[in-house]
């Protein structure tokens, strides 16, 4: 049965039918119809932000936790332009964010009116799966319904819709939205014959290696990966610059590799003769390295839902277009039929045990040597966090150069989840993403780990955090520099090395993030001595609302 209503009401009904609980937004002067309508209903809550980066990042974080598309509402060209960086991060990490933007009134379009631009669609389409403008009010529900389908279909990704402001107030007549009939299953089974060949190649391998991607976690296939790794008896590394952690770091077959200069040559185990890459891009380079990351003689099995990624950089021996969960289930059935003798598995596990012991000893040596250092060793901060934090929590990370030390010193056992922005490089994403994640997980501990540069880019998120009194803990890994930039300069020719501080140091003045947090009414503490880490974190964890701990860490944050 069709029912008369205005287009903004239809917009919210479509959103509610798709399970949307929040709209994150910054409406601008063109958003009056939208705000008036959302205030007149109770199904969907509006969350206000102070910058469009935060708007889109909040939607991104919420979508990553729920696995469902999430709405971000901005306005006209200035708001859309401000959202593009966070939209790019969502695009790189295949996050199903739907950005809707009001646009200028169609009755004054083309007159160079206030906030008018040439084309919002052209500006955003390179960072989306689909970008479009709606030109009739009665088609807004159709376009939005399609946006949910496109955003969630494999491979997932963001969508952008421009909605002229006057159309949102026009009457439309639509049938009740049927969200179930517009959904597309993300499951892609994969070629059974190719997966059988993959199982055989792994069974014949001398030193197989599993490279796990973030898509495994997104597909809910972590348990399948653990079973498969134990079945094959192969070490597991995460793909460089991963967005989701898909294998617990506490597992005896888990190994960490440095992200800036990745190598699959593990201690004791050595170079793999067969790599099976599952749900990953294989790989995204941070910088040019003349030596090949994967030797040409290495056999490669690549399982990915996006055919563009397979064979993009490294030629593969077996290619399988499939989602991680479906592929792993097939492999779990196929591998036992061709598995090598139990003696081979035992030999592999013994070698892995020795390799793990050596890798752990190297980590322990580095941590012990710098345990009492000032500025603080980031590894000690990570270990103190590990000691104090719950076994069920989510860490949202945007501390690019502290990531290696965080991952090698914080025990991510099952129940402790992790995601980050993998390789977009647009700063300021982390705080907003953590806010969205907390709203999606109100009963779960959520911790934002942010670099100081990233914190400055997303500082407006503190206002939203304070306004809604969310019990979110923010830890600033404050090395007083854009360390990724500084490290890059340090690896360059001398004239660039000596100028590194000019383009990367965040000093003179130093930033005290604890004081900034306090101006928003947020509990804030600054930690400069390693013995002060634990009491400061304990006080932060006791807060009923948001808290920020600004930890002054060493600039030596590289694991390699």
pLDDT digits (tens, 9 = 90+) for 124-153: 999 999 999 999 999 999 999 999 999 999
Q: What is the DSSP letter of 18?
A: T
319 to 36, 93, 111, 226: CA distances (angstroms): 51, 22, 53, 22
pLDDT at 85 over 70: yes
pLDDT at 94 over 80: yes
pLDDT band at 195 (very low <50, low <70, confident <90, very high): very high
Place of tokens 């952690």: 245
The proportion of the chain whose per-residue pLDDT surpasses 90, expressed as a percent, equals: 76
362 located within any domain: no
Total count of residues recorded for the chain = 560
- Identify whether residues 325 and 439 lie together within a single domain: no
Q: What is the pLDDT of residues 270-326, one digit of tens each?
A: 999 999 999 998 887 777 778 888 999 999 999 999 999 999 999 999 999 999 999
- Identify whether residues 10 and 148 lie together within a single domain: yes
158 located within any domain: yes
- Identify whether residues 198 and 178 lie together within a single domain: no
Would you call 259 helix, strand, or coil by DSSP?
Answer: coil
- Identify whether residues 111 and 214 lie together within a single domain: no
293 located within any domain: yes
- Identify whether residues 339 and 400 lie together within a single domain: no
- Identify whether residues 274 and 347 lie together within a single domain: yes
Q: What is the DSSP letter of 41?
A: -
164 located within any domain: yes
Q: What is the DSSP letter of 68?
A: S
Q: Which residue has the higher pLDDT, 412 or 425?
A: 412
Distance CA 236, CA 269 (A): 12
- Identify whether residues 340 and 394 lie together within a single domain: no
pLDDT at 2 over 60: no
pLDDT band at 117 (very low <50, low <70, confident <90, very high): confident
pLDDT band at 382 (very low <50, low <70, confident <90, very high): very high
- Identify whether residues 137 and 263 lie together within a single domain: no
Parent domain of 26? 2-182
Distance CA 321, CA 305 (A): 5
179 to 75, 96, 97: CA distances (angstroms): 26, 16, 17
As a whole number, the mean pLDDT across the chain is: 92
- Identify whether residues 379 and 517 lie together within a single domain: yes
Distance CA 470, CA 286 (A): 35
| Neighbour count for residue 355 (Cβ, 10 Å) | 18
Give per-residue burial for 520-529: e unless 16+ CB within 10 Å, then b: bebbbbbbee
| Neighbour count for residue 370 (Cβ, 10 Å) | 17
Distance CA 18, CA 23 (A): 12
559 located within any domain: no
Q: What is the pTM of this model?
A: 0.95
**Domain with 315 in it: what CATH number?**
3.40.50.1220
| Neighbour count for residue 17 (Cβ, 10 Å) | 19
Domain C-terminal end among 303, 329, 355: 355
Domain C-terminal end among 329, 355, 381: 355
| Neighbour count for residue 372 (Cβ, 10 Å) | 12
pLDDT band at 497 (very low <50, low <70, confident <90, very high): low
8 A C-beta contact, residue 99 and residue 129: no
pLDDT (average), residues 487-515: 76
360 located within any domain: no
Neighbouring residues of 263: CB distance < 8 A, sequence distance ≥ 6? 257, 293
Neighbouring residues of 66: CB distance < 8 A, sequence distance ≥ 6? 19, 440
Domain C-terminal end among 308, 332, 355: 355
514 located within any domain: yes
Q: What pLDDT is stored for residue 558 in this prediction?
A: 56
The runs of H, that is alpha helices, within 52-191 are 52-66, 76-92, 120-124, 140-152
Distance CA 256, CA 264 (A): 10
Give per-residue burial for 195-234: e unless 16+ CB within 10 Å, then b: bbbbbbbbbebebbbbbbbbbbbbbebbebbbebbebbbb
Question: Number of structural domains, the chain?
Answer: 3
Strands of 236-390, DSSP E: 236-238, 254-255, 274-278, 299-304, 318-321
Distance CA 1, CA 251 (A): 55
- Identify whether residues 392 and 501 lie together within a single domain: yes
- Identify whether residues 417 and 455 lie together within a single domain: yes
Distance CA 228, CA 206 (A): 17
Angle between helices 76-92 and 429-440 (to 10 degrees): 80
Distance CA 74, CA 397 (A): 25
284 to 208, 247, 288, 436: CA distances (angstroms): 21, 19, 11, 26
8 A C-beta contact, residue 229 and residue 208: no
558 located within any domain: no
Neighbouring residues of 118: CB distance < 8 A, sequence distance ≥ 6? none
- Identify whether residues 177 and 213 lie together within a single domain: no
**Domain with 93 in it: what CATH number?**
3.40.50.970
Neighbouring residues of 140: CB distance < 8 A, sequence distance ≥ 6? 7, 10, 11, 134, 163, 167, 168, 172
The runs of H, that is alpha helices, within 339-377 are 342-369
Residue 379 is encoded by which pair of tokens?
């590894």
């Amino acid at each position: 049965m069709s029912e008369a209503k205005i287009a903004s009401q239809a917009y919210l009904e479509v959103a509610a039918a798709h399970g949307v609980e929040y709209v994150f937004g910054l409406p601008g002067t063109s958003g009056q119809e939208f705000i008036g309508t959302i205030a007149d209903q109770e199904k969907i809550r509006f969350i206000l932000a102070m910058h469009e980066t935060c708007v889109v990042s909040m939607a991104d974080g919420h979508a990553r936790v729920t696995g469902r598309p999430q709405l971000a509402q901005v306005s006209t060209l200035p708001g859309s332009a401000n959202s593009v960086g966070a939209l790019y991060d969502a695009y790189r990490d295949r996050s199903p964010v739907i950005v809707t933007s009001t646009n200028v009134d169609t009755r004054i379009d083309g007159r160079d009116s206030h906030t008018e631009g040439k084309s919002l669609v052209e500006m955003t389409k390179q960072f989306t799966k689909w970008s479009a403008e709606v030109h009739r009010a009665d088609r807004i529900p159709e376009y939005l319904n399609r946006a949910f389908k496109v955003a969630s279909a494999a491979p997932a990704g963001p969508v952008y819709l421009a909605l002229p402001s006057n159309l949102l107030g026009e009457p439309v007549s639509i049938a009740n939205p049927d969200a179930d009939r517009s959904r597309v299953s993300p499951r892609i089974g994969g070629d059974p014959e190719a997966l059988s060949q993959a199982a055989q190649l792994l069974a014949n391998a001398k030193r197989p290696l599993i490279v796990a991607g973030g898509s495994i976690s997104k597909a809910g296939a972590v348990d399948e990966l653990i079973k498969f790794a134990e079945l094959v008896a192969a070490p597991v590394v995460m793909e460089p610059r991963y967005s989701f952690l898909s294998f617990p770091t506490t597992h005896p077959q888990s190994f960490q590799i440095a992200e800036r200069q990745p190598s699959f040559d593990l201690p004791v185990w050595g170079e793999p003769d067969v790599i099976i890459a599952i749900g990953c891009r294989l790989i995204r380079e941070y910088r040019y390295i003349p030596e090949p990351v994967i030797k040409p003689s290495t056999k490669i099995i690549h399982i990915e839902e996006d055919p563009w990624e397979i064979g993009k950089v490294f030629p593969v021996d077996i290619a399988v277009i499939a989602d991680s969960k479906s592929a792993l289930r097939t492999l779990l059935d196929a591998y036992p039929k061709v598995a090598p003798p139990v003696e081979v598995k035992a030999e592999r596990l013994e070698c892995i045990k020795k390799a793990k012991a050596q890798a752990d000893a190297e980590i322990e040596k580095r941590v012990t040597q710098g345990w009492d250092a000032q500025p603080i060793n980031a590894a000690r901060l990570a270990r103190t966090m590990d000691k104090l934090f719950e076994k069920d929590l989510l860490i949202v990370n945007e501390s690019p150069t502290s990531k290696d030390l965080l991952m090698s010193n914080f025990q991510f056992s099952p129940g402790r989840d992790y995601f980050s922005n993998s390789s977009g490089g647009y700063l300021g994403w982390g705080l907003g993403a953590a806010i969205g994640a907390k709203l999606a997980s109100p009963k779960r501990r959520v911790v934002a780990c942010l670099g100081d540069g990233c914190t400055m880019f997303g500082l407006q998120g503190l206002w939203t955090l304070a306004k809604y009194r969310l019990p979110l803990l923010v830890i600033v890994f404050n090395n007083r520099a854009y360390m990724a930039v500084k490290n890059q300069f340090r690896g360059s020719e001398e004239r660039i090395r000596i100028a590194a501080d000019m383009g990367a140091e965040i000093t003179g003045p130093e930033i005290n993030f604890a004081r900034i947090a306090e101006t928003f009414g947020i509990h804030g503490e600054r930690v400069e001595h390693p013995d002060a880490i634990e009491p400061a974190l304990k006080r932060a964890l006791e807060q009923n609302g948001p808290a920020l701990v600004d930890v002054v860490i060493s600039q030596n944050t590289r694991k390699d």
